[in-house]
């Protein structure tokens, strides 16, 4: 009985702790390091777009924050080119009632860092001042997003900052974790009637360079990512597509580097639909607590939302799928008259015309919380790649190179960190596949870009300069109202870092970019003959950089990869060693604490907050993430999916064995205790009967005792003799 009490106390203690530990998301499963930051924003002068008679007022803003031992200051300019001229935003309640949403579109920006003219900044600032931004420099990409999406009980004004290099890539196969792929078109059946065969001759390029999007957020996404605020959900989606669009518009879709191709091809958002509550309809993709298989969900979504009025329709959800899949999309074919992906032909499904120009993205990670912004960007860009006609990259040196050759590309079969050079671009294989589809189909459903105008701070074909937004009635010294150089001007300092205030090239030797030893780059100097800042030269190999690493060929490599060490970084699996600096040989998976150089400056104990085998390092010890265990327990109860249960058991073997033992041992203990108690009561009855005054002689006592000793179902059976 004492053991039973102890076991019950252990279980009660486990669940008491379960309720005491808040589910803080899964940042530590996705990031090696992140920092809590307070982003300061400031409103600039009220501005007006030039040469636009009916343009609405805009603002120039800036933001600044400190992280990673440096200060970030960015100047921002209004950016609305991602939206279609007749853009609509709707909210839908559980009964299908639609409401037109008026969205404040003044918070979307692009810009540069004050001290880095080669940087690019894409940012969104909501009505509360919360910032979501990406900052790309020549050596690193930084991300900022509101902390409330991942951490509980934190101010809405607080943000987290992390680098692309902080993203943890687990190397799982995409088909079982990151992405599922639906083939071009849909399998034939008696309900499927393919449209009449058309000519496969390619369609000439006509300047239609934007794929119009309809974005749909289900109630889970609206709750988990938008915080149940419609404006926040809409702004998140616009900001995400703006970042993904930058990847696509900077890609030249062509067969080879020596050939021409499709340039400046991207997306424009035509419509956003936000489900504010579960739909009161069985089988709807937005129904409450429905456990979907990802392929069935995409098919159902296609049946209800696929449309010829859009180039693509994309579902954003926040639910876990079997195998941890985060995305799924139909692949487009260059053959005309086919279904799936961009410009899809409708086919009959259950007597209804359905368009499979669809894909989906889930922002629910396999660890329970929303994925970080960077991973959501990669998943969405990957699924759009399928919709545009790219399969996964084949295993080859050309399209799946190793990390020392730039690493894998966006459409790689396995998950990528976003840190390697190639992680943010498309492979030659993808570019060839997508080029063929664009050539065949783009004019069928793409639209012309609407934001190529004088006044957007981007020097576009036909423009000499573009100084963006000016105060009403003000003129620029170098650039005219029609984006041409004024007399005697050869450049504009707004567009070019090596241009003076007098509109002339800065003298040779003028510093246009400061050195950054952590990124292993020297200062850059103007050459006196051009307005652009030349790329910076690398610092000398061996120069110390971040976290005890050193510079090699202009890049900061980790401590273990230094020339005098020649190893690879790793995490020691032994929990007592997990917070020590560990390295492994390049050709081995054996990870051990590094002690080969007794006088090296980097401390053997890793800094607090560094990732270790079971959680974080705190005072040199690996602190186990108890909340992850509790989070998964409640996720399993909530979802009750056999795959999630098996995955939980695999990832938490010790806890599983302990709980399984308790589950088996407690009922067994109670049963044994019950039998013992019954035997004890029976012995007492025997004694009482033996000495009962109702019995008259020894023979009868013996006969009764015999009868009591033979028990059947709890009843006495008296001997016959």
Say yes or no: 196 and 233 in one domain: yes
Residues 6+ apart with CB under 8 A from 495: 457, 459, 465, 466, 467, 531
Highest mean pLDDT among 139-143, 150-154, 265-269, 590-594 belongs to: 265-269
Which letter, b or e, does each residue of 323-333 get, where b requires 16 or more Cβ atoms within 10 Å of its Cβ?
Answer: bbbbbbbbbbb
pLDDT at 452: 56
Residue 299 in any domain: the answer is: yes
Whether 435 and 495 share a structural domain: no
Is residue 291 in some structural domain? yes
Cβ–Cβ < 8 Å for 377, 371: no
Q: How confident is the model at residue 419 (pLDDT cuts 50, 70, 90)?
A: low
From 28, 182, 375, 383, active-site residue: 383
Q: 514 and 525 in contact (C-beta within 8 Å)?
A: no
Q: Per residue in 452-462, pLDDT tens?
A: 566 656 677 78
3-state secondary structure at position 272: strand
Q: How far apart are CA 18 and CA 629, in angstroms?
A: 9
| Token representation of residue 311 | 């180039």
Residues 478 and 406 in one domain: no
Domain interval for residue 254: 82-101+170-445
372 and 468 both lie in a single domain? no
pLDDT for 610 equals 65
Which residue blocks in 306-350 are alpha helix, DSSP H?
none
Tell me, yes or no, whether 231 and 182 share the same domain: yes
pLDDT of residue 624: 62
Do 376 and 500 sit in the same domain of this protein? no
Per-residue confidence band for 502, with pLDDT thresholds at 50, 70 and 90: very high
Residue 287 falls inside a structural domain = yes
Position 384 scores a pLDDT of 96
Q: Looking at residues 277-304, what average pLDDT do you find?
A: 90
**C-alpha span between 249 and 315 (Å, rounded):** 22
Using alpha carbons only, what angle is made at residue 357 by residues 355 and 449, rounded to the nearest 5 degrees?
125
Would you say residue 511 lies in a domain? no
Do 437 and 456 share a structural domain?
A: no
Give the pLDDT of residue 268. Answer: 94
Q: What is the pLDDT of residue 141?
A: 86
460 and 427 in one domain?
no
* pLDDT at site 621: 83
- Count of the separate structural domains present in the chain: 2
> What's the pLDDT score for residue 417?
56
Catalytic residue check, 383:
yes
Q: How far does CA 508 lie from the centroid of its chain?
A: 44
Each residue of 683-713: pLDDT tens digit? Answer: 555 445 444 443 333 333 333 333 333 333 3
Residue 445 reports pLDDT greater than 90: yes
Say whether both 392 and 489 belong to one domain.
no
Where do we find the tokens 């504009």? Answer: 492
Asked if residue 107 is part of any domain, the answer here is: no
Task: Find the mean pLDDT for residues 300-309.
Answer: 94
- The CATH number of the domain holding residue 376 is 3.40.390.10
Report for 47-61, 550-564, 672-686: range of highest mean pLDDT:
550-564
Answer with the one of 428, 445, 462 that is the final residue of a domain. 445
* 591 belongs to a structural domain: no
Question: Across-strand partners of 646?
Answer: none
Whether 327 has a pLDDT exceeding 60, the answer reads yes
386 among the known binding-site residues? yes
Is 45 part of any domain? no
For 218-357, list the strands marked E by DSSP.
266-275, 312-317, 327-330, 347-349, 352-354
Do 240 and 326 reside in the same domain of the chain?
yes
User: Is 392 annotated as contributing to ligand binding?
Assistant: yes
Q: pLDDT tens digits, residue range 532-576?
A: 989 888 999 999 887 778 899 888 888 888 888 888 888 787 888
CA pair distance 240, 164, nearest whole angstrom: 16
Residue 25 has pLDDT above 70, yes or no: no
Among 406, 428, 445, where does a domain finish? 445
Q: For residue 434, is pLDDT > 90?
A: yes
Q: Residue with structure tokens 């530990």? A: 21
Quick one: 457 and 332 in the same domain? no
In a domain, 595, yes or no: no
pLDDT > 70: percent of the chain: 69
Domain identity same for 393 and 497: no
Q: How much is the mean pLDDT over the chain?
A: 75
Q: Which of 417, 445, 473 is the endpoint of a domain?
A: 445
């Amino acid at each position: 009985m004492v053991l039973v009490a102890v076991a019950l106390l252990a279980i009660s203690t486990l669940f008491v702790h379960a309720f005491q530990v808040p589910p803080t998301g899964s940042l530590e499963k996705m990031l090696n390091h992140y920092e809590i930051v307070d982003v300061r924003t400031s409103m600039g002068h009220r501005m007006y777009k030039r040469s636009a008679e009916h343009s609405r007022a805009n603002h120039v803003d800036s933001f600044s924050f400190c992280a990673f031992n440096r200060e970030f200051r960015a100047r921002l300019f209004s950016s609305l080119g991602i939206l279609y001229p007749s853009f609509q935003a709707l909210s839908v309640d559980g009964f299908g009632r639609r409401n037109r949403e008026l969205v404040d579109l003044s918070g979307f920006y692009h810009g540069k860092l004050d001290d880095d003219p080669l940087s690019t900044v894409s940012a969104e600032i909501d009505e509360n001042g919360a910032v979501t931004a990406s900052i790309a420099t020549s050596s690193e990409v930084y991300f900022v997003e509101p902390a409330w999406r991942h951490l509980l009980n934190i101010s809405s004004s607080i943000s987290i900052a992390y680098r692309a290099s902080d993203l943890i890539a687990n190397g799982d196969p995409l088909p079982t974790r990151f992405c599922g792929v639906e083939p071009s078109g849909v399998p034939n059946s008696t309900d499927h009637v393919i449209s009449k065969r058309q000519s496969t001759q390619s369609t000439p390029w006509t300047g239609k360079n934007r794929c119009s999007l309809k974005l749909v957020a289900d109630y889970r996404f609206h709750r988990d990512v938008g915080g149940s605020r419609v404006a926040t959900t809409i702004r998140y989606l616009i900001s995400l597509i703006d970042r993904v669009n930058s990847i696509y518009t900077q890609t030249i879709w062509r067969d080879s580097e020596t050939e021409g191709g499709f340039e400046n091809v991207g997306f424009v958002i035509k419509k956003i639909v936000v489900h504010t509550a579960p739909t009161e309809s069985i089988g709807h993709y937005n129904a409450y607590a429905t456990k979907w298989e990802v392929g069935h969900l995409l098919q159902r979504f296609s049946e209800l939302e696929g449309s010829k009025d859009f180039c693509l329709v994309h579902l954003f959800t926040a639910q876990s799928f079997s195998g941890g899949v985060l995305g799924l999309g139909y692949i487009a074919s260059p053959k005309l008259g086919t279904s799936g992906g961009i410009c899809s032909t409708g086919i009959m499904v259950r007597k209804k015309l359905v368009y499979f120009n669809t894909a989906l993205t889930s922002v629910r990670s396999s660890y329970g919380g929303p994925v970080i912004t960077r991973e959501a960007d990669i998943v969405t860009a990957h699924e759009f790649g399928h919709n545009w006609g790219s399969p996964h990259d084949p295993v080859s040196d050309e399209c799946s190179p190793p990390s020392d050759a730039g690493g894998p590309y966006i459409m790689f079969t396995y998950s990528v960190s976003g840190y390697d050079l190639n992680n943010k671009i498309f492979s030659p294989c993808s570019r060839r596949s997508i080029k063929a589809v664009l050539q065949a189909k783009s004019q069928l459903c793409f639209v012309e870009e609407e934001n190529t105008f004088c006044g957007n701070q981007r020097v576009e074909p036909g423009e000499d300069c573009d100084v963006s937004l000016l105060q009403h009635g003000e003129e620029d010294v170098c650039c005219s109202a029609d984006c041409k150089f004024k007399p005697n001007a050869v450049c504009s300092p707004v567009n070019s870092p090596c241009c003076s205030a007098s509109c002339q090239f800065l003298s040779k030797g003028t510093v246009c970019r400061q050195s950054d030893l952590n990124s292993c780059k020297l200062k850059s100097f103007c050459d006196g003959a051009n307005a652009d800042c030349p790329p910076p030269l690398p610092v000398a190999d061996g120069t110390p950089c971040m976290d005890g690493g050193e510079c090699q060929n202009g890049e900061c490599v980790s401590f273990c990869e230094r020339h005098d060490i020649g190893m690879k970084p790793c995490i020691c699996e032994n929990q007592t060693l997990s917070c020590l600096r560990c390295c492994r040989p390049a050709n081995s998976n054996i990870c051990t604490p590094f002690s080969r150089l007794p006088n090296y400056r980097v401390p053997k104990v890793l800094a607090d907050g560094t990732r270790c085998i079971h959680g974080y390092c705190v005072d040199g010890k690996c602190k186990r993430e108890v909340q992850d265990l509790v989070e998964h327990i409640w996720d399993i109860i909530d979802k009750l999916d056999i795959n999630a249960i098996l995955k939980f058991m695999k990832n938490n073997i010790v806890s599983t064995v302990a709980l399984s033992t308790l589950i088996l041992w407690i009922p067994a203990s109670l049963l044994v205790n019950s039998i013992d108690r019954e035997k004890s009561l029976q012995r007492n009855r025997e004694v009482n009967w033996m000495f009962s005054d109702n019995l008259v002689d020894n023979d009868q006592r013996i006969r009764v005792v015999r009868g009591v000793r033979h028990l059947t179902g709890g009843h006495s059976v008296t001997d016959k003799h």
